[in-house]
Every structure is written in structure tokens, then in C-alpha cells.
Structure 1
Amino acid sequence: MSSIVGQYVNPVIPGFYPDPSICRVGTDYYLVTSSFQYFPGVPIFHSRDLVHWEQIGHCLNRESQLDLERCRSSMGIYAPTLRFHQGRFFMVTTNMNSRRNFYVWSETPDGPWSDPIWLDWSGIDPSLFFDDDGRVYLSGTNELGTNEPHGIYQAEINIETGQLLTERRLIWNGTGGQAPEGPHMYRVHGKYYLMIAEGGTEYGHMVTIARADSPYGPFESNPGNPILSHRSTNHPIQATGHADLVQLEDGSWWAVFLGIRPVSVPFVGRHHHLGRETFLAPVTWSAEGWPVIGDGGKVTEKLPVGAEASLIDKNEFEGNQLQLCWNFLRNPQAGEWSLEERPGWLTLHGSATTLNDIGSPAFVGRRQQHFNCSVSTLLSFNPVREGEEAGLTVYMNERFHYEIALTYNSDTGRKVILRRRIGSLWKVEFEAAVEDSDVILGLEADPSTYSFFYAEPNGERMPFGTAECSLLSTEVAGGFTGVYIGLYATGNGRHCTVPAYFDWFDYKSH
């Protein structure tokens, strides 16, 4: 194990950060993950030790790079690959909203990144490999929804223009697991190694590898495959797969990969709601020249189960830019949010779009990254028309979310509500009249339950109902994302006549 890594706890990037891809530039490490329907897209992180990661930007932060108009949940940006070559960073990915592949490049990892270079390339999970002889190869999956044989396809590419220089050809079918995808190629010890994900990105997920003397094969499958999988085990980390390798300056190798941390609930079973997260494991090489991830294909948390790095993040909404942890749902609409309209506050102008719609509501959210956490915000909002509301949401997708919000009813006036939306069912569980237009809204989370509360200024904190984490899990809600905790405003079918102001947002892990 390299001395720069030392003791660490998995996941190294907790919360919904799946499909990690990594590259090294000198003593610096850079990593990107999928972002699906959220904007900006493809968060990029920096580290000096593979353990402590700081987000430094997004690769896609302009609508010209990332069109998410009417993007369905869990579509959008899939499985990016990050590589560095001759002074440039390249990030290649798929926008499933348009079902097109493209790459962008930048001379600095925090941008600005170029506009997309579109590829005449079908399938998903594109990856780039820069060979020592100057050739550049593009690989990816078969074309989805067709009779094209499943497997990994490859062609040579002109990296300046994106033009394919050779025919696209099938190079490996994998080992027989479903959905061979996520290819990455490496040249090690004079051999070409092709590492992929198989088994689907669920509990049967795994990493397999093959090698050849040529980039086009024929590829010899590792007799020890899979080299990473927790399938058919009771391990607290599950669905391990979609890995990428990096070699350190000292010659050691490491892998980053996705995994989930399911919660077991009596009579419910296993579920995960934080999403697919980024994990780290050492890599050794067998005497036969094959990589081995972790302990014979298994990885641990390194610290006792449940141990998490603490986080205290109070956002005061100072300045004119949101912190990098914040996202919008799809492309934000001009004029619906501002940090300058009321300095020191986040202003949201609620539109007709709601959290139930496949659209762009007035929403600013961040990932839930810890099972045990508390979240609160101070909202100033004076709704005067039926249906106007603003508040705090625990959001998985448009069909599965919870809200604690301030709203208005012509009969009862201003009130706080707790609402749950579960599939086609929704219900306002609790409501309480409030006198003031300023109110603190919040929640306490543990692995199984969200407990909501509110407080009027200088008033007592009032418990306000609970909701199950399991009903926002992937096993129930579907999809590939994880829970966001967000601030929102809506007129529920028409524009709000008054803005919603959020003074601060406090996120603390326990």
C-alpha cells in the first residue's frame, strides 16, 4: 500500500457520485462522476492522496454543453471518462437525453471546458485510450435497443476533430454477464488490458478484465474473473463495479469504483437511498500478470461499519455564485433564482412547474451524503394566493419525494405542511397554522427515518412527522440517482406572485 494513502474510510466520496473515472497528472489526481438530470453536469474533484477529495468544478456548466430540456429522471449524463494527454484534459460521456456521445476538453481541470465535440458513435459509456504510438482509441457499448451483439466496441479516432478513422468493431463480449459496459483500456507491461463492468449496476454488479497483444485483440479473459464483486454476499458494501485504475508515482496501483451501502429494514429488506457512491481499493498484480482489486475482489470500509467523516456545512448564500455542491434540476430557468436580488439570501421565484413535473422547477439542491445528518433552513415567504408554496424537499425523483413547506390556504391562511409523494399516491400528512412569514424548516435523518420539524422565530422547535427512507430508495423509486435535499418554490400551476427567500442552509452529519 502506498504511503500517501494511509488509513481511510469508504466511500471516499459519499452520496450520489457514481461511475468514477480517474487520471493522474504528476502528484495530482482528478476524478469525475455521472450527474444524470442535474445541472451543472459532471462534477470534477481533485486530490493529492486519493482519500481527501475536493470538488473544483463541473465539466459541463453551460446549456450549450448540456441540454437537459424535458430530461427524464435517471437519463441525462451517463458514465464519463476522464483522461489527460499532452497538456489537455479530455472528458467523454453520453447525454441520454439526446442519446448522443461527445467529449469536451480543457487545459485546466477547473475549466473552462470546450463546447461538445459530437461523435458519430452509438451506445453508452464511451472511453478514450491514448496509446504510446500516438493513436487514440474510442470504446463503448453496443447500440442500445438494436440487435447489435452485446459487448465492447472500438475504433480509432482523430482527437482534434472527433472523426472516426477506422470502422467500429466488436472487440470483447465480456464473460457472459448482462450489460457489458464501462470499458477502460490500459497498456501495462506491453499488454493491452480491457476492463469492463458486467452484471448490471445492481446487486450483481462486477468488474471483469481481459488482455491482448493488440488494441483490437483477440482478448484473453482473465481466468480469475471477476476481479471485483460483492454479489451473493451479506457484505455491507454492495453493487461494486464500474471501476477505473490509476498508477501512482511510486508504481503502486489503485482502483476507484462505485458501490452502494444498503440499509436492512425488518419486513422490508435491503434498500439504498444515498445512491451509488465512490469507493477506493488497492490493486495488486498476480504472478500471471492480472490485476486483483482489494482482497481477492472484496473491499472493506477500513473502519467500523457506519463510521463516517463528519461534515458541517452552513451556507450563508454570500457572494454571487452558489457553492459547487449545489445543483439545479435540469437546465435552470432565467430569472427563477438569484443570489443578488436580496444579498445574503437565495431568492427563488416559484413557477408553474412543480416537483412532480419533468421540467425545471425553481429548485436548488445538494446530495444527502450521510445516513445520519440534520438539515435546516430559514425561509422568509409570504404567500398570498392559493397554491403558492416554498420549502425544503427530500427528493429522489418527480414521483418520490417529501416536502416540509410554507403555503397559503384561503380558509386557514398561512400554514406549514408536511407532504409525502410515493408513486401515484400523495398526502399532506400534517399541517399547522403559523403567524409569521419567517420560519425555520428542517429534518433529522438516520438510516431508516426522516424526522421533520419547524420553528417560528424565537419559538420552540415543533416536531412535525416522520417518513421512511426506504420509500425513496432505488429499490422502490427506481432509477440510478440518490436522494437530494433541496430548496424550492412553486405556484402549483401558475407563477408565484411573491418570491421565496432563504437566509441560510445548514447541513451537519452526525
Structure 2
Amino acid sequence: MAFLRSLGLTLLLFLSTSGVLAQLDSSSDESLGAPSGPSVTSRNTTYYNPILPGFYPDPSCIFLPSYENTFFCVSSSFNAIPGIPIHASKDLRNWKLVGHVLNRKEQLPRLAETNRSTSGIWAPTLRYHEKSKTFYVITTLVNDHLPQSDSSRWDNILFQSKDLYNPTAWSKATHFTFEGYDPDLYFEGGKTYLTAAHAWQVDPGIYQTQIDLDTGKIGEWKLIWEGTGGMAPEGPHIYKKDGWYYLLAAEGGTGLQHMVTIARSRNVDGPFENNPTNPVLTNANTTSYFQTIGHADLFQDGSGNWWSVALSTRAGPQYLNFPMVRETVLTPVTWKKGEWPVFSKIEGKMSGWAMPREDRSIRGAGQFVDDGDDIYESFFDSNGNLPAHFTYWRYPIPDYFTRGPRNILRLRPSSNNLTALNGNYAGPAGIALVSRRQSHTLFTYSVDVEWEASKQEEEIGVSAFLTQNHHIDLGVVMLPDSGGKLVPHFRYRGASYIPMPEPIVTPVPAEWNLSSDDSKAKLKLRLEIKASNMTHYAFSAGPVGAESLTKTIAVISNEGVSWGFTGVLLGVYSTSNGGEGNAEAYVSRWGYLPQGQYRD
């Protein structure tokens, strides 16, 4: 999973899909068979991509009849916490967040210290072992600031659980050694085969060994395929069908030349022969809105039909405005006996195999991916937890996010702002940002904040946050006026590897300050980020209870947060900007209103 893209900085891109298919521990071809499932529609079904809109790259999916005929998918999370989100569906159209594999710091403490915004969790693979009734997720914690030749760059890890719906059932990480990434699991004959992509700048190729799932002990690695000649062969997945072992992979890097390729062999460890029609799935060199297609995975539904998930970017060949970056798409696959699979072209509106009838009766406390937010005061559940889809950048500092009066959110400032120490590292202080994913082209995100401040550079604000070095913020900040008196100001500023507009600083109207002490600010404001088209965000603010007075402070292109591996998070932050301030903010009326999805 690697790919160089330059936006003022040459960056190693990557990422892989680690395949998902419930596999039986069997040497029979039936290890990929799907038993009869729920009732389906009588004809091909129309559905829409992406099925997981927003920051959900490198999908890995399985279908489990034993779990109420449910499909499960995991995806990459990088530095976002909770990490490795799990989505479930019974009909392939309605997808619900049902948990996260990585949900406790004790599982993987090292994630708190990652350096670089492209570090963290790359390309998890989800597998289910029928005989042991165990879920396995295998992935890599990548220290992306280190060179590929440094073995400590690659921390390959494995999690397991007997209950996918219970966050605490997921184990701590079991570590194993490999100079590479994108690990995949395949079970057969009482053995577990581990296949992964070697660091491509060192020795490109797909390697394989066997692994003990409880200890992480591995055997000797063997090169089994070098790909078709495209850059960075990665994202391998092994499937067995009709006496053949099929090896699915990604090549070309995770940008505009991304593609899916496949090979097969009569033996699990090769030699593998290339499909003469490779690549089997790509939108490279087309005018399609859906670009960067790759890192695919294959699975069957309850009727035995084949499907593939992959990542894609809604950018068009211009590749300029794509703030949700890499998302999960779905396509039907025709796979006749003894032949190569044939993938349908990825588009926004699709016609696929007859799908199960619509069914939203899915367990789990999370929300469906297309849901909005309307959280007036009840931020915390009875256990003191914020909503499952709320997201932090690395592990949150508990003291920053606490229950306030009326069950609203009390937000305390970090000394770091959102760029933190250098745009890559945040140190032990972290950043005080709580967010949710942007999951629609058009939306309005807004919060009410109640805030009292008196020290210079104390700040509360909202952000379209991609990474520490790519974010667009509207803050309310204490700054001196022309006479040197500290008064609250609105301040737009942005960080990106591409040029951004200069900061905009304007005083908050004096009548909006409710403080009787002119040395302090006491504000009750509604802060808003709105995407009314596919290219720009509008940042606005106004007094609570007087929406007609709302002012638009800045309209900024989303090109500065259209970059890299992740996707935009929309959230509220608090910082002292390295100063002495400690002003708390109280957050209520958290809203996210979906207003449209562009698919072509």
C-alpha cells in the first residue's frame, strides 16, 4: 500500500483492502460456499455508491448466515479513535455502525505516540473462523515517518473476539514480525496462511507464511507473486474456488492509477499465473467521477452471488475537490465455474444481483452511515459514553471531554491547537477535538457553544479537520483590539500542503458579548460549517436565539483538505494556543443535517 503523491510534499501513499470472506477451516472448495440466506427481491436491485460514504477506506467484508444473515465490513482508521470501525448490513444497502475493534488504549498503547498524519492503522482484514467461532482482524500499525527499510516502521498486529458486537470482547493486539503491510488470513486444513505485501520500495511483492493466531509465531516467508508490473503490489487476499486458489491484489498506488489485479494457482503458495485480462477493476484514464478504485475484496451473499467492495474517491480525473477522500463502493461480480471473476464497472447508480429485502433491524448502538445528528443536550449515555460515531484524533485525554450540566459536553482546552507541535505529532497533551465524519457532499454542521474567556489566545471553534497538517477552522479567540484591549474575535485560518487563503480576523460584535466585565468575554454562539456545493465550505457564526444575525465569516475551497488517505472530520475544538488560558466551553445542539450526495 504505497503511492507517491505530491501536494507541496512528496508523500508515501498506501493502503490496502484486506479481504473479507467468512472461511471455513476446510480443504474443500466448499470453504467459499454460502448457505441459503434471507428472502431476496425477485429481480436485479438498484443501489447507490458509495455504500459507506466518507472516511471508510480499504474495506474488508464478510457474510455470516450464523449471525442473522448479516454482512460485516471493517475499514482503515489511521490515527482516528475509536479505530477500525465495524459496519453491519442485512440488505447491502443500509449499513449501521455496530462497534470498533480498537476501542481501549490498553489494546495498542503505541497508537497514542504516532508521528505523522499518515501513520496509524492501515488496511485491516476481517476473517471469521467457523470452527472456533472467532472473529479475527489483522492489520498494521504504520510509523510512516520512518523509511520503508526500517523494520520498526511496520508493527503488524492481530485482534480476536468471540462477540463482534461487544467492544470489550476484542483482545489486546498480538504482534508479529514482517517488513511490510496489508496482511490477510486464509484458513485451510487446520492451518492459517498469512499473506502480505512486502515494503514495495525495498522489495515489491506478495509474500506468504503460516501463523499461530494465539501467539503470533510465524514460519518462513515465501515470495508467491510479484504482481503484473504495476507499482506497489499490495492488498492481497486469497480465495479458493473450483480447485483454484485466487490471489486478489491492488497495484498502481492508491491514486489515479489504482487498479485491481488477480492471479491463480492450483497450490495456495503458488506459482500464480496472471489473469490475461488484468486489471479486472479500475477507472484509471477515464472521465468517471469515481476514481482511485482499488484494494478490493470478494464475498458471497446468501444466494451464492459474488460481490466486491473496494475503495474509491469521488474526484473525477481533475482530482481537486474530494474532502471525503477514499470511501467504500460495492459492485456485483460474475464468477463462472473454473473461470476468472468479471467485475462490473463502478458507478454512482448501480444495478446488481437481487439483494435481500430491505431490513434495518441490526443490533448495535451506533447509527446508520447516512444518518444525521440532532443532539440537543443528551450527549452522554448511562455509562458516560459519547455517541459511538464521535471521533478523536489519537486517544482522547479524558479530562478534555466531560459531562456538563444538563448532560451536555464540557470541553476543556488543550495547550496544542489543531496543528499541534509540527503538523504531525501532538505529544502527550494531544488535541481537544471531538468530531464526526463528513458523509455527504452537501450538509450543514453546527453547534451551540457557551464560553467565558479572559486570556489572550484562548479559543473555541469548529473545524473541517482532515489531519493535523490539513484543516480549516473558524475560531472564537481572545485577541487585542487596536487599543490593546483583549476582546473576542472571529478567526478563520487553514493549514494545508497547498496554498490557503490568509487568515481572516474580525471582532465579534460587541452586543453579542454578554459579560458585564469588559475585561472578559461571555458568549453564547451558534457556530456552523456548511457545504452548499461540492467545492467550498462556508463558515458562519451568530448569537444563540437570533439566527437572523448569523454572519458568514469565510467561504473556503475544500481543496486544502482533499488529500491523502483519510477523510474530513467535522468537529468542535478548544485550545489555549500554548498560552495560560483554561477557559471551558459548554457544547450543546450538536447538529449534522445531510442535504445531498453527488454521485456523478
Answer whether TM exceeds 0.5 for this pair.
yes
State the match for 1:313 in structure 2.
Answer: 373
How many angstroms apart in 2 are the aligned matches of 1:285 and 1:57?
32
Partner of 2:178: 121
8 Å Cα contact 2:61-2:74 kept in structure 1: yes
Q: Secondary structure at the residue paired with 2:160?
A: strand
The answer as to 2:53 corresponding to 1:14 is: yes
Superposed, 1:18-33 pairs within 5 Å as: 18-26=57-65, 27-33=69-75
Q: Distance in 2 between matches of 1:127 and 1:487?
A: 37
Q: Distance in 2 between matches of 1:347 and 1:70?
A: 27
Residue 490 of structure 2 aligns with which residue? 416
Q: Which residue of 2 aligns with 1:500?
A: 585
Q: Structure 2 matches for 1:83-102, cutoff 5 A?
A: 83-85=127-129, 86=131, 87-97=133-143, 99-102=154-157
**1:301 pairs with one of 342, 348, 358:** 348
Q: Confirm or deny: 8 A CA contact 1:318 1:343 kept in the other structure.
A: no
Aligned to 1:155: 209
What is the CA–CA distance in structure 2 between the aligned matches of 1:96 and 1:34, rounded to whole Å? Answer: 12
Task: Check whether the contact 2:245–2:267 (CA below 8 A) recurs between aligned residues.
Answer: yes
CA contact (8 A) 1:20 1:31 kept: yes
Match of 2:341 in 1: 291
Contact 2:184 2:194 in 1 (8 A): yes
For 2:386 and 2:93, how far apart are their aligned partners in 1? 25
- The answer to which of 113-122 and 4-13 deviates more is 4-13
Out of 242, 248, 256, the position equivalent to 1:203 is 256
Give the aligned partner of residue 325 of structure 2: 275
Give the AA of the match of 1:183.
P
SS in 2 for 1:12: coil
Aligned partner (choices 57, 80, 96) of residue 124 of structure 2: 80
Q: What corresponds to 2:461 in structure 1?
A: 391
1:213: which partner in 2? 266
Asked if the contact 1:393/1:487 (under 8 Å) is kept, the reply is yes
1:432 to 472, 494, 507: 507
Equivalent pairs counted in the alignment come to: 490
Post-superposition shift, 1:327?
Answer: 1.1
After TM superposition, the structure 1 = structure 2 runs for residues 130-149 of structure 1, keeping only pairs within 5 Å, are 130-131=187-188, 133-143=189-199, 146=202, 149=203
Equivalent of 2:95, from 37, 41, 53?
53
Contact kept, 8 Å, 1:351 with 1:494, in 2: the verdict is no
- The answer to whether the 8 Å contact 1:179/1:198 transfers is yes
* Comparing 422-431 and 166-175, the one that deviates more: 422-431
* CA distance in structure 2 between the partners assigned to 1:465 and 1:253 by the alignment: 47
Identify which of 224, 228, 232 aligns with 1:171. 224
Match of residue 19 from structure 2: none
Deviation readout 1:405-439 (Å, 9 max, x if unpaired): 22212425123222233448674314232414110
CA offsets, 1:304-335, max 9 Å, x none?
9xxxx964321341422122221111121231
User: What's 2:105 paired with?
Assistant: 63
Q: Secondary structure at the match of 1:8?
A: strand
Cα offsets for 1:80-130 (capped at 9, x unmatched): 000000300000000013620010000111232001111122201011111
1:199 deviates by: 0.6
Q: Secondary structure at the match of 2:181?
A: coil
What amino acid sits opposite 1:73 in the alignment?
Answer: S
- 1:39 counterpart residue number: 81
Q: CA deviation at 1:288?
A: 5.3
Q: Structure 2 vs 1, CA of residues 255 and 353 (structure 1 numbering), >3 Å: closer, same or farther?
A: same
Instruction: Name the CA shift for 1:145/1:234 in 2 (closer, same or farther; >3 Å).
Output: closer
The one-character-per-residue Cα deviations of 1:129-148 (angstroms, maximum 9, x if unpaired) are: 112x12110011113553xx
Q: How far apart are the structure 2 equivalents of 1:37 and 1:144? A: 22
Q: Partners of 1:115 and 1:399 in 2: how far apart?
A: 30
Contact 1:415 1:431 in 2 (8 A): yes
Deviation for aligned residue 1:494 = 3.5
Which piece of structure 1 moves more, 314-323 or 242-251?
Answer: 314-323
What's the % identity of the aligned pairs?
35
List aligned pairs for 1:451-490, cutoff 5 A. 451-459=538-546, 460-474=549-563, 479-490=564-575
CA RMSD of aligned residues (A): 2.0
The AA in structure 1 aligned to 2:389 is C
Matched residue, 2:393: 329
Paired with 1:257 and 1:498, the residues of 2 have a C-alpha distance of 44
One-letter amino acid of the structure 2 residue matched with residue 196 of structure 1: A
What TM-score comes out, normalization by structure 2 length?
0.78
Match among 436, 446, 449 for residue 536 of structure 2: 449
Q: 1:505 to 1:107 in 2, by over 3 A?
A: same
Residues 28-48 of structure 1: CA deviation (Å, up to 9, x unaligned): 111000000111110011111
Letter matched to residue 492 of structure 1 = N
Structure 2 gaps, min length 5: 1-38, 144-152, 352-368, 515-522, 596-600
Distance in 2 between the 1:143 and 1:448 partners? 35
Once the two structures are superposed, residues 148-178 of structure 1 have per-residue CA deviations (whole angstroms, 9 ceiling, x without a partner) of: x3110000112222211x3101000011100
Q: Which secondary structure state, in structure 1, belongs to the residue aligned with residue 48 of structure 2?
A: coil
CA contact (8 A) 1:129 1:186 kept: yes
Q: Residue 182 of structure 1: CA displacement?
A: 0.4
Match of 1:181 in 2: 234
Q: Hey, what's the Cα distance between the residues in 2 that align with 1:419 and 1:157? A: 49
Q: How far apart, in 2, do the equivalents of 1:152 and 1:20 lie?
A: 19
Q: What's the TM-score, normalizing by structure 1?
A: 0.92
**Are the counterparts in 2 of residues 402 and 421 from structure 1 also a CA contact under 8 Å?**
yes
Q: Which deviates more, 285-294 or 19-28?
A: 285-294
Match of 1:324, SS?
coil
1:347 aligns with 2:421: no
